């Protein structure tokens, strides 16, 4: 009996020692993160809000994490190329996607056969911010309010068109939602990005546009376009004199371009927590907040759990809008 107890004790000691060794090894491995450069992937082209926020977060999170973060633009197919790259990467936290209302909002419904699953393939890290959409008009039309736009459309049936950053974009959805709610007869003109979409409004090539505040702000401030409303719950910090759609009688039109950080599903929770803490610290800095606001965006931090719930709700919300308005991509 004594020998049996001694044997069991020795076995327990070996097992406990092995477990301790494995724990220490795991701790040391985690403590080393990051021990090589992290890739931050922007799934849209340089120059836009997605690219700006990706680079801003990468620069300052690198300091927080005491590592190196490299930004890469992997563009194409409404964000599908960049999102797929991260979805197929190793689950180790070394590839991070700045996802948005396209990759994790509209795409799951518009592209049901896309090579990634917005929920199953990603581990949420944190929200970064959002950009309210605007309804902007050509100043040559002499329209200064939604009421005047409605009156103009009745006198000029079939003569209005609105631009957006592309078929299935949040701008496209907002435009179709406004069209349905207001009864305005207008057609959609898809562009390859917010910049050319709003640029042609300023040039007098198209009457209306639904683009983000970030893209409309400079032209609005210079008087080259008129912004009639913003599609957000509250007024934009960048355009405080512009009413929300709810304020002018269209309470259901609340659509923003939002941006958030995602890693590959299966990334260790400790790594996700570490990156979430870094994002939280960065977004808490007044100079970062000011920089984001200057770009026409609004900063917003979240926990991974909050981002997971938000993403699921946005996929459902955008899916309902897409199906109700029968929006399809070619």
pLDDT, one tens digit per residue, over 177-226 is 999 999 999 999 998 888 899 999 999 999 999 999 988 999 999 999 99
My answer on whether 52 and 139 are in the same domain is no
Mean pLDDT, the chain, rounded, equals 89
Once rounded to an integer, what is the mean pLDDT over residues 303-324?
96
CA-to-CA distance for 276 and 261, rounded, in angstroms? 9
- Give residue 31's pLDDT: 58
CB 261 within 8 A of CB 122: no
Does residue 15 belong to any structural domain of this protein? Answer: no
My answer on whether 190 and 236 are in the same domain is yes
Q: Specify the CATH number for the domain of residue 220.
A: 3.40.190.10
Does residue 156 belong to any structural domain of this protein? Answer: yes
Out of 207, 226, 248, pick the residue that ends a domain.
Answer: 248
| pLDDT one-digit tens code per residue, 130-145 | 999 999 999 999 999 9
Q: Among 276, 282, 255, 41, which Cα is nearest to 130's?
A: 255
CB 267 within 8 A of CB 91: yes
Out of 227, 248, 269, pick the residue that ends a domain.
Answer: 248
My answer on whether 163 and 102 are in the same domain is no
Out of 248, 274, 296, pick the residue that ends a domain.
Answer: 248
Checking if the pLDDT of 12 tops 60, the result is: no
Does residue 53 belong to any structural domain of this protein? Answer: yes
My answer on whether 136 and 238 are in the same domain is yes
Does residue 207 belong to any structural domain of this protein? Answer: yes
Pinpoint the alpha helices (H) of the chain.
Answer: 2-31, 49-65, 80-87, 107-110, 146-155, 170-182, 194-202, 213-221, 269-283, 286-294, 304-325
My answer on whether 114 and 215 are in the same domain is no
Question: 320 Cβ partners below 8 Å, 6+ apart?
Answer: none
My answer on whether 156 and 71 are in the same domain is no
> Measured in Å, how far apart are the chain's first and last C-alpha atoms?
78
Question: 330 Cβ partners below 8 Å, 6+ apart?
Answer: 167
CA-to-CA distance for 253 and 148, rounded, in angstroms? 18
CB 46 within 8 A of CB 71: no
Checking if the pLDDT of 70 tops 60, the result is: yes
My answer on whether 136 and 70 are in the same domain is no
- Give residue 239's pLDDT: 93
My answer on whether 146 and 244 are in the same domain is yes
Q: Which domain holds residue 161?
A: 132-248
My answer on whether 268 and 235 are in the same domain is no
| 42's tokens | 């922007």
Does residue 26 belong to any structural domain of this protein? Answer: no
Checking if the pLDDT of 16 tops 60, the result is: no
Once rounded to an integer, what is the mean pLDDT over residues 138-154?
96
- Give residue 194's pLDDT: 85
My answer on whether 46 and 106 are in the same domain is yes
- Give residue 44's pLDDT: 86
Number of domains in the chain: 2
Longest dimension (CA), the chain: 101
Does residue 8 belong to any structural domain of this protein? Answer: no
Q: Among 107, 105, 114, 109, which Cα is nearest to 85's?
A: 114
- Give residue 13's pLDDT: 44
- Give residue 14's pLDDT: 45
Classify burial at 281, counting beta carbons within 10 Å of its beta carbon; exposed 0-12, middle 13-18, buried 19 or more: middle
Checking if the pLDDT of 251 tops 80, the result is: yes
With a pLDDT cut of 90, the percent of the chain lying above it is 73
Does residue 72 belong to any structural domain of this protein? Answer: yes
Confidence (pTM): 0.82
Checking if the pLDDT of 68 tops 50, the result is: yes
Q: How confident is the model at residue 330 (pLDDT cuts 50, 70, 90)?
A: low
My answer on whether 241 and 270 are in the same domain is no
My answer on whether 223 and 263 are in the same domain is no
């Amino acid at each position: 009996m004594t020998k049996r107890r001694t044997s069991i004790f020795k076995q327990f000691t070996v097992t406990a020692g092995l477990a301790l060794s494995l724990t220490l090894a795991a701790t040391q491995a985690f403590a080393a993160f990051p021990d090589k450069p992290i890739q931050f992937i922007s799934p849209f082209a340089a120059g836009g809000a997605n690219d700006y926020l990706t680079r801003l977060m990468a620069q300052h999170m690198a300091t927080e994490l005491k590592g190196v973060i490299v930004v890469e633009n992997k563009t194409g197919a409404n964000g599908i190329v960049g999102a797929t790259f991260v979805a197929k990467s190793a689950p180790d936290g070394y590839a991070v996607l700045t996802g948005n209302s396209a990759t994790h909002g509209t795409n799951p419904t518009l592209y049901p056969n896309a090579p990634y699953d917005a929920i199953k393939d990603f581990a949420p890290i944190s929200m970064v911010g959002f950009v309210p959409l605007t309804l902007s008009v050509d100043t040559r039309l002499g329209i200064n309010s939604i009421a005047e736009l409605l009156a103009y459309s009745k006198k000029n049936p079939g003569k209005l068109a609105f631009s957006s950053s592309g078929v299935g974009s949040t701008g496209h959805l907002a435009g179709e939602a406004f069209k349905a709610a207001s009864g305005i007869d207008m057609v959609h003109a898809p562009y390859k990005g917010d910049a050319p979409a709003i640029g042609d409004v300023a040039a007098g090539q198209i009457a209306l546009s639904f683009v983000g505040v970030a893209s409309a702000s400079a032209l609005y401030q210079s008087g080259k376009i008129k912004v009639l409303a913003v599609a957000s719950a509250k007024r934009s910090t960048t355009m405080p004199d512009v009413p929300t759609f709810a304020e002018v009688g269209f309470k259901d039109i609340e659509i923003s371009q939002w941006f958030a950080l995602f890693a590959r599903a299966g990334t260790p929770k400790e790594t996700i927590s570490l990156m979430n803490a870094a994002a939280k610290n960065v977004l808490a800095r007044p100079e970062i907040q000011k920089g984001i606001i200057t770009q026409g965006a609004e900063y917003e931090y979240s926990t991974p759990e909050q981002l997971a719930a938000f993403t699921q709700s946005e996929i459902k919300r955008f899916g309902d809008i897409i199906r109700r308005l029968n929006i399809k991509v070619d």
